[in-house]
């Protein structure tokens, strides 16, 4: 399979490219500095030249970029994947765990942008795959990942304080990349939530990163009591839950 990947230098994109190559797929990166990606003619010229079997759109795209990719894929009847985020839900109007049937209520810039591009993707391509991604667990601090959040807290405060009652969607980044490939290879188009956390709290996950992934530099305070639910309900795609990957629930008083 020949796959055009946008955002190939990002947190998930880097791993996705590696996983695609290991599965013997041909990867064609489409990077922002190659040409004006909001120029529909140039995008179509690029795609016509390479004739991909699938487009995986992970980049921070604007409407013209996303629309052009989605529309070309629909016209050529090739797979089109757009990655969104669990952050489209703020939890003010809708309570988690959030399903694919809930209406996103996020109000910050990232949420509003992703909500708009989800809509653009489906309007331009009714056969689109839209995957809302969980918070990513990486080996080292990467932008927007849980490790990045931990490091930023350590840099600011010298320690991190999180709650046993703060339930987040989370996945190891390698599992996310594999799931995106699996979607195209084995699932029908549609809206998907990619979340492998089977009700682990943020405290449980940070504890695992510190004690099981060898990051002893993390100073973890005893768990806080603040309650928040950012859990996505994944009911469509088979994933390996965190509990089967070594993450354990921690006693509140531990």
Domain ranges of the chain: 2-135+170-194, 138-169+197-231+240-244
pLDDT of residue 254: 54
Residue 225's pLDDT is 87
pLDDT in tens, 123-171: 999 999 999 999 999 998 877 799 999 999 999 999 999 999 999 999 9
Fold of 2-135+170-194: Rossmann fold (3.40.50)
* 40 and 68 Cβ atoms separated by less than 8 Å: yes
Which pLDDT value is given to residue 155?
95
Q: Residue 253: its pLDDT value, please?
A: 61
Q: Render pLDDT for 216-247 as a digit per residue (tens, 0 to 9).
A: 999 999 998 888 889 999 888 999 999 999 99
Per-residue model confidence as pLDDT tens digits over 95-122: 779 999 999 989 899 999 999 999 999 9
What is the C-alpha to C-alpha distance for residues 84 and 49, in angstroms, rounded to an integer?
27
Length of the chain: 254
pTM for the predicted model, two decimal places:
0.94
């Amino acid at each position: 399979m020949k796959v055009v990947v946008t955002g190939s230098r990002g947190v998930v994109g880097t791993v996705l490219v590696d996983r695609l190559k290991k599965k013997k797929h041909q990867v064609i990166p489409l990077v922002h500095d190659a040409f004006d990606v909001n120029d529909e003619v140039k995008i179509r010229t690029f795609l016509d030249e390479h004739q991909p079997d699938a487009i995986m759109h992970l980049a921070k795209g604007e409407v013209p970029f996303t629309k052009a990719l989605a529309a070309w894929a629909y016209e050529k009847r090739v797979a089109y994947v757009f990655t969104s985020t669990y952050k489209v839900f703020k939890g003010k109007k809708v309570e988690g765990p959030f399903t694919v049937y809930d209406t996103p209520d996020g109000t910050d810039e990232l949420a509003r942008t992703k909500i708009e591009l989800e809509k653009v993707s489906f309007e331009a391509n009714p056969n689109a795959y839209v995957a809302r991604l969980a918070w990513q667990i990486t080996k080292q601090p990467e932008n927007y990942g849980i490790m990045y959040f931990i490091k930023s807290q350590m840099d600011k405060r010298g320690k991190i304080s999180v709650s046993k009652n703060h339930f987040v969607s989370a996945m190891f980044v390698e599992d996310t990349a594999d799931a995106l490939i699996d979607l195209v290879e084995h699932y029908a188009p549609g809206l998907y939530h990619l979340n492998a956390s089977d009700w682990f709290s943020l405290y449980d996950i940070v504890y695992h990163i510190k004690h099981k992934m060898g990051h002893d530099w993390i100073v973890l305070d005893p768990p806080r009591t603040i309650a928040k639910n950012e859990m996505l309900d994944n009911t469509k795609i088979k994933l390996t839950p965190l509990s089967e990957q070594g993450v354990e629930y921690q006693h509140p008083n531990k």
